[in-house]
């Protein structure tokens, strides 16, 4: 990241607020022990300042006849209720409206009052110092003391847990704000160092000796803006979700929706605008802080609740949801292994008649033959400005390549289709099997796996499935295989009329009900997406010690290529993907996607 232009004064002058933030680096407990720090509690009803919350509340009661503690007791307010009450009062004072004691729960029961009206409001932090209120069932009686004590102990435990959660959230928020401010003033290195130190301190403070999350790199990779910009600009992807949600607003109206891996919050905001009553946006990445800001700036905070953490570990504010929406797909569909989290949420939270968005996916494989690609990317290393660099070819056939595969080769320029100008699915698939096929895909694609997300289990994601195709033209060699997937958004579940079959193509399935159905392909015959396709290059048979000769590898029109595709998870890479293809009885190869 480039640094900011130099300034005569690169940092703002120190202030009492910034000094307080600096002291907070050592945690709340240190701040409380700091004898030099003076807490200033601003009155709820005027401009007077007090050393603590109780003296301020006493002033409000004696001076203004406003009994905050009495209202808390009458409404039986917990911590969050008291926060809402404080911000309700401050908002009315700010707007010049009268504040009386006849406040009701309906007056303050709005999510907007969880956002502080006054920055760094010491009254909110001081709520923990207020005396316990008497439970409603215990008022007016001195009997059953044991039950009262038990209730108080239980309440104390709940408040301690709530305090721990609030402190953790505050620490995370403070670190994020500090990093943003430092980066804004150009001190990126210091921001990164302080963030790392704060994170390490937080982990140490929890006394956690937990093994480092092996997938931490995965969450971190989604914390920046670049990857989300790429996904948002993928109009095939983003338009599909938007169109399905907006075209089926009757399915979302008044419903509770769970968005898993919410990222910037775009899908959650689509659902909110479609009329959802409540949307819970969950993400384990630090991008969740940006999602919260996006939700706030679009005035959707009353509908969307952002939750930071893994769906398997967080506690949601609801027991069940009507709809689960998630963009979980990775390269070759299953790379990054996010789908198991969606399946977990389906079994844990989705109502029996609930909806999954999307609902189905199928995988396709096709043969590829492009001598020019091999010359440009493989044979290239044998003569680089007159030097033999064959050492650079090591492992070149062991890794799956993610790319946008061109249907036309420089050796067959007659085909004008490209990812930017996709062929219609009907003409494309017929072209692949036509005798006039001059594309780099010399035979029709074969669908080899269908995932019905309503019934798929995590164990189903490691599998072996058959495939078969026949060449539509002669080829000099089978250079490899291409893998892609189609995604389907069905407005109903369990309806045979909208069923997705193994061989269903996105466009053909949508044509049956274009008003309600949405689907898209990531294949080379469709508009380009950020998923592109997975290329599996075949190792050429050797006819000599150093030869890449292809003698005997030519295949004639009509030759059948039949075999099996195996998807599995590498033992050393939980979010990676291993793809094995065996064909025609005696040929087989494995590729890694990392």
Residues with active-site annotation: 327, 336
What is residue 463's DSSP assignment? E
**Distance set, CA 20 to CA 27, 32, 34, 52, 83 (Å):** 11, 12, 11, 17, 22
SS3 330: strand
Q: Is 174 helix (H, G, I), strand (E, B) or coil?
A: helix
Q: Sheet holding 304-308: strands in order across?
A: 304-308, 278-283, 256-260, 321-326, 350-357
Q: How far apart are CA 21 and CA 38, in angstroms?
A: 14
HSE, side-chain direction, 13 A CA sphere, residue 79: 18
Question: Coil, strand, or helix at residue 112?
Answer: helix
Closest to 135 measured CA to CA, from 126, 153, 148? 148
Handedness of CA 194, 197, 198, 199 (dihedral sign): positive
Query: Strand pairing partners for 279?
Result: 257, 304
Structure token pair of residue 298:
């679009």
Query: Cβ of 58: how many Cβ atoms within 10 Å?
Result: 15
Whether the CA torsion 88, 90, 93, 95 is positive or negative: it is negative
3-state SS assignment for residue 41:
strand
Report residue 292 CA to chain centroid gap.
Answer: 13
Q: What is the token pair recorded at 126? A: 């001081």
| Furthest CA-CA distance within the chain | 100
Instruction: Spell out the residues 6+ positions from residue 459 whose beta carbon is closer than 8 angstroms to its own.
Output: none
Helix, strand, coil percentages for the chain (3-state, nearest 5): 40, 20, 45
Distance of CA 325 to the CA centre of its chain: 11
On whether the CB atoms of residues 128 and 53 are closer than 8 A, the answer is: no
Cβ contacts of 478 within 8 Å, gap of 6 or more: 367, 368, 369, 538, 553, 555, 561
Cβ-based neighbours of 236, under 8 Å, separated by 6 or more? 520, 522, 526, 527, 528, 529
Other beta carbons within 10 angstroms of residue 111's beta carbon come to: 12
> CA torsion, points 446, 451, 457, 461, in degrees to nearest 10?
40
Quote the DSSP letter at residue 92: H
Distance CA 113, CA 87 (A): 5
SS3 state of residue 293:
helix
Phi, psi torsion values for 459, nearest 5 degrees: -65, -20
Cβ neighbours of 225 (radius 10 Å): 11
Q: CB-based contacts of 447: which residues, under 8 Å, 6+ apart?
A: 362, 363, 364, 467, 502, 503, 504
How crowded is residue 579: how many other Cβ atoms within 10 Å of its Cβ?
A: 22
């Amino acid at each position: 990241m480039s640094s900011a232009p130099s300034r005569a004064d690169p940092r703002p002058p120190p202030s009492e607020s910034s000094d307080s933030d600096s002291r907070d680096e050592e945690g709340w407990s240190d701040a409380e022990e700091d004898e030099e720090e003076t807490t200033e509690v601003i009155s709820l009803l005027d401009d007077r300042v007090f050393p603590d919350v109780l003296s301020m509340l006493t002033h409000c009661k004696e001076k203004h006849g406003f009994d905050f503690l009495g209202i808390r007791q009458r409404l039986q307010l917990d911590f969050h209720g008291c926060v809402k009450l404080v911000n309700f009062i401050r908002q009315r004072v700010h707007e010049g409206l009268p504040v009386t004691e006849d406040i009701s729960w309906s007056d303050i029961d709005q999510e907007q009052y969880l956002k502080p009206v006054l920055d760094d409001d010491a009254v909110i932090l001081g709520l923990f110092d207020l005396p316990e209120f008497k439970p409603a069932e215990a008022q007016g009686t001195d009997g059953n003391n044991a039950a009262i004590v038990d209730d108080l102990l239980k309440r104390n435990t709940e408040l301690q847990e709530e305090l721990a959660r609030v402190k953790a959230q505050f620490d995370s928020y403070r670190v994020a704000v500090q990093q943003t401010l430092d980066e804004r003033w150009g001190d990126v290195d210091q921001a990164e160092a302080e963030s790392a130190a704060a994170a390490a301190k937080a982990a140490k403070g929890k006394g956690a000796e937990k093994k480092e999350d092996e997938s931490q790199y995965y969450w971190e990779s989604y914390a920046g803006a670049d990857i989300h910009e790429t996904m948002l600009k993928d109009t095939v992807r983003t338009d599909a979700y938007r169109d399905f949600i907006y075209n089926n607003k009757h399915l979302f109206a008044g419903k509770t929706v769970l968005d898993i891996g919410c990222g910037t919050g775009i899908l959650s905001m689509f659902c909110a605008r479609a009329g959802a009553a409540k949307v819970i946006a969950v993400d384990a990445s630090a991008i969740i802080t940006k999602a919260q800001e996006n939700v706030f700036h679009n005035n959707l905070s009353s509908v969307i609740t952002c939750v930071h953490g893994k769906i398997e570990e967080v506690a949601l504010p609801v027991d069940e949801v009507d709809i689960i929406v998630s963009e979980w797909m990775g390269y070759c569909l299953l790379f990054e292994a996010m789908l198991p989290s969606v399946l977990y949420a389906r079994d844990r939270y989705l109502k029996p008649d609930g909806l999954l968005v999307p609902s189905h996916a199928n995988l396709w494989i096709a043969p590829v033959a492009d001598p020019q690609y091999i010359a440009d990317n493989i044979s290239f290393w044998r003569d680089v400005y007159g030097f033999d660099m064959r050492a650079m070819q090591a492992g070149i056939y062991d890794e799956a390549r993610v790319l946008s595969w061109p249907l036309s080769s420089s050796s067959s320029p007659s085909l004008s289709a490209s990812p930017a100008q996709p062929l219609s699915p009907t003409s494309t698939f017929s072209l692949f099997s036509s005798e006039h096929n001059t594309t780099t895909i010399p035979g029709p694609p074969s669908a080899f796996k269908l995932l019905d997300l309503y019934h798929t289990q995590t164990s189903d994601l490691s599998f072996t499935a058959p495939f078969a195709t026949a060449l539509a033209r002669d080829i000099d060699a089978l250079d490899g295989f291409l893998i892609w997937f189609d995604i389907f958004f069905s407005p109903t579940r369990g309806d045979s009329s909208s069923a997705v079959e193994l061989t269903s193509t996105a466009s053909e399935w949508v044509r049956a009900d274009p008003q309600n159905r949405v689907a898209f392909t990531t294949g080379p015959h469709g508009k380009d997406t950020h998923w592109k396709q997975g290329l599996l290059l075949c190792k050429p048979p050797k006819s000599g010690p150093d030869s890449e000769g292809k003698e005997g590898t030519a295949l004639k029109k009509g030759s059948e290529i039949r075999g099996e595709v195996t998807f599995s998870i590498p033992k050393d890479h939980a979010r990676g993907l291993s793809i094995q293809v065996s064909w025609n009885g005696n040929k087989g190869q494995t590729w890694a996607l990392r």
